[in-house]
Each structure stands twice: as C-alpha cells, then as structure tokens.
Amino acid sequence: MKTLLWLRDDLRLQDNPALAAAAAAGEVAVVYLLDEESAGIRPLGGAARWWLHHSLESLATTLAEAGGSLILRRGRAAEAIPGLARELGAEAVFWNRRYGGAERQVDAQLKSALRTAGLQVASFQANLLFEPWAMQTGTGGHYKVFTPFWRACREAAEPRPPVAEPGRIRGISAAGDELAAWQLLPRNPDWASEFSGIWTPGEPGAQRRLAEFLDRNAQAYAVGRDEPGLEATSRLSPHLRFGELSPFQIWSALQGSPGIAAEDERSFRSEVGWREFCWHLLYHHPDLADRNYRSDFDAFAWQPASDAELAAWQQGNTGYPLVDAGMRQLWQTGWMHNRVRMVVASFLVKNLLIDWRAGEQWFWDTLVDADAASNPANWQWVAGSGADAAPYFRVFNPVTQSKKFDADGKYLRSFLPELAGLPAPVIHEPWKHPTALDETPLDYPEPLVELGPSRQRALDAYARLRDGVVPGAAPS
C-alpha cells in the first residue's frame, strides 16, 4: 500500500505510531505542511519558527538516512493533503492526533472528506499519555484540579511502551518547497544568533538531551529544579513541543533509570503530568488563550494598556534583577527557567496589573517551547483566572524569590552584565548599593514600581472582583 504520512507536531522517527504503521503497510510519502491559512490555527511565534526550521532540517536528514524523504508543502490542509494524496496515488493517509480546537476541526473534516473519496484514514495516539476524553471524573465531567486528575491518570492503564522505529523505509518522494523559501529564520536583525549554541533542534538532539538529563540533572531534580542558577531542569520542553521526543519515551526511559531517587522521579513525572493537564484543559476549553477560564474575571479591572511598562517588562528593564534576568534570558536564549517564569508573570499581572494575555502573547512569540496548551494555562494559573489557579493573594516578591532561589546571584550575573560586579546580597536590590564618588553609577534602571503599593493595588483589585464591584460604576 502507498500511504501519505502527514507529520505535524511529531517530528520524530522513534515512537511514531503513524509512521510505524505506514512503513509496515508499504511505501510511505512523508509530508510536512506549513498551514497558515486554515481558520483558527494560531500562527507560530518567531522563536518557534526558528526551531521549526532547524527541526525540519534535521528530520529531512534522519528520514533520508532511513530511506525516506521529506516533502515540504504549504497551504490549507483541506486542499493540500487530498491534493498531494491524489498526486501520489496514495491509498491511505495517516497522522498522529493533535488536540487544539481548530486543529481537531481541520483533521475531522479532512478525515471525512478523504474517506468519502475512498481513502483509508487512520489517526494515532502519540503526543499525550492520556487522551483528554478518556480522563473523566466520577460524574462524567472533565477534571479541573490537577491533583485528582493526575491521581486518576496514574491509576489508569500504564502508558504503552514506545513504538519501535521502522527499519528501512520505502520512501516516496515528490516535488516540494525549499525550506529556505519559508523564511522561518529571523533576519534584520537575527535575534536568534545565540540560539544555536544552546539548542540542538531535532530528534538526535532531543535524545541526547534526555540521556544527559537522566545521567546528571535528574539527581536532585525535586529541589534543584527551583534554582535558576543550576542546570537542574530537563530543558526538554521545546523537543516535546515539536514532538521530537514523546512523553511515552520519557515515561519508559524513567522506568529504565534506577539511579534516580523516588522523590526526584515522582517530581519529574508530575511535570509531565502538568503538560497532560494543560492539554486536557485546552481540549475542553479551546479558547484558553483568548478567554478567562473563569468568566468572572471578565470584569477584572486591568490597568489601561501602558506601552512603556509593557516594554520595560519585555526588554528586562524593570529594575528588579530577577525579573530582568528572566526576560533577558528569554530574549537571548528563547527559553526561561520555570520558577523565573512564575516570577516575571506575577510581576506583569499583579505588580503592573497588565492583562495576562499581553504576557501570554509575548511568551508565545519568544519561547522556543511555546506550547498552545501550557502557555495559556499557566498564564491563567498565575493570573488567578485559570483552572486550579493560584489564590489571588499569592503575589511573588521578586526580591524575596531572588534571595531565596538565587542566593549567590549566579543566575542574575549571567544575564545582567551591568550588575556582575555587585556581590550578594546587594545584587538582589541594586538600588541599595552605595555608589562611591569616584565610581560611575550603575547603568541599571531604578525600580519601575514600588513592590509594596503595587502589591496592595493588586490585592484591592482582586477584592473588588470578589465583591462584585463593576469597574467604572458609580460608588453607592
């Protein structure tokens, strides 16, 4: 049989059930479609485009080594996929499932159109350990709190082992676009110039990262993951985002790593669980990036848009070292440490009282791991408008967090060269650093807002929301 394999967020040869099935059935044509036309599909952010370029480059190589070839096409899936299937004389179209609202709609319509045209269509579970529709509460609803969700997942059937990589693929090639023509890479300026020293997009890079993590960083993960100055996190997020690695592979690799303490293993698995939970939420709330999960937040009194404050946050010029180090790490590397993400998000949403969507969009554009589910779910979690969200009174203090989780200032120094000469603890509060008469003052901004009053302003705004005070209404 001749099968068209449509790859999307599953750019890997190992543990790829759609590929394995297609290869087992006969000849395979592999296509990646750049679809910027189907309705409702969120355009990739800049950093994700950079990653995609290199991931596709890598995939083309590994696929060629296995006997296949990667066909690049561009257009609306509803026309491009049936068109290519016709062109190749394919009898079947296979893909791995995706879970976003618009994506599901595209896939469902395509499935029925292809079947009507007499083709065999099959979709596979590849990117989530637990299908969102399979996880139901006792009353048939979907889970809204992480802990019971994850408990139910762990009590469900054990995730399958990874699917073996097909041996020699009988590949079918066809004319397609040149990758360069898609212009996924930034130019003028090339803000991603430092990315390639840090990241290796593609399946081999993902495998290497996983092996390194299990060998080294997974020890003391539970505690170490909180310190941004350490290399204690897995940094697998962008690989997972593009499906260069599957959660099934992670699951199984942990099984085979007895050197990791139970505490660290449980902690890391639960981070995989949060990814599952976010997709579970997005599946049931496809507009998670646009609308408050808790609709009572629609009445929340965000500050009127302040371009200057938003820009200071984006550029890492708030005057709070941990916030600024995080935002510059994001800009320079396309990634930010998890704890620092919470601190910068809390600062934007609570201290600046800027709508979480502005932060979510910036992360979407600048993160190489920008994930359609995790990004909005976690922003809403910080804002308090999300599922199982942080209580409104939880306002991170960037100075306290800095002293607690980067006590020696190692993380701060690596992204704030203008403060590199300051010792701890004053590096956490540079405005307290006395400048001697013969010294040039620090080239570092004064704090954008005062922490105490801005925190109180946020608490007041949340209290008004709770008490149902409508913004702008006349006081009674």
Partner DNA sequence: TTTTGAGTTGTTCGA
Partner DNA sequence: GTCGAACAACTCAAA
Residues in CB range of 36: below 8 A, 6 or more apart: 43, 74
Q: Is 334 left (phi over 0), alpha (psi -120 to 50) or beta?
A: left
Give residue for tokens 């200057």: 308
Number of residues engaging DNA in binding (CB under 7 A):
41
* Whether 188 is catalytic: no
Q: How many CB atoms lie within 10 A of CB 407?
A: 13
Q: Which is nearer to DNA, 166 or 326 (CB)?
A: 326
CA–CA gap between residue 287 and residue 292 (Å, rounded): 9
**452 near DNA (CB under 7 A):** yes
Q: Which position among 24, 145, 198, 261 is part of the footprint of DNA (CB under 7 A)?
A: 145
Interacting residues of 378 by C-beta distance below 8 A, sequence separation 6+:
278, 341, 345, 386
Residue of 223, 224, 221, 247 lying closest to 236 (CA atoms): 247
Annotated active-site residue 356? The verdict is: yes
x/- string (CB under 7 A) for DNA, residues 315-344?
Answer: -----------------------xx--x--
Among 24, 298, 393, 418, binds DNA (CB under 7 A): 393
Tell me how far, at minimum, the Cβ of 454 lies from DNA, in Å.
10
Q: Which residues contact 189 (CB under 8 A, 6 or more apart)?
A: none
Among 396, 412, 427, 448, binds DNA (CB under 7 A): 396
Which range, of 18-26, 59-67, 131-139, 309-317, touches DNA by CB under 7 A?
131-139
Q: Please tell me the distance from the alpha carbon of residue 367 to that of residue 384, in angstroms, as a whole number.
A: 22
Q: What is the nearest approach in angstroms of DNA to the Cβ of residue 21?
A: 33
- What is the Cα–Cα distance from 352 to 226, expressed in whole angstroms? 24
CB 461 to DNA: min, Å: 11
Contact flag: residue 216 with DNA (CB under 7 A): no
H helix intervals, 160-304: 195-198, 203-212, 221-224, 237-241, 247-255, 262-284
- Minimum distance, C-beta of residue 231 to DNA, in the bound complex (Å): 17
Span 230-289, contacts to DNA by CB under 7 A: 270-271, 274
Which residues form the catalytic set?
A: 271, 274, 302, 338, 356, 379
Binding site residues, DNA, CB under 7 A = 137-139, 141-149, 151-152, 226, 270-271, 274, 338-339, 342, 378, 381, 388, 390-397, 400-401, 404, 451-452, 455, 459, 463, 466
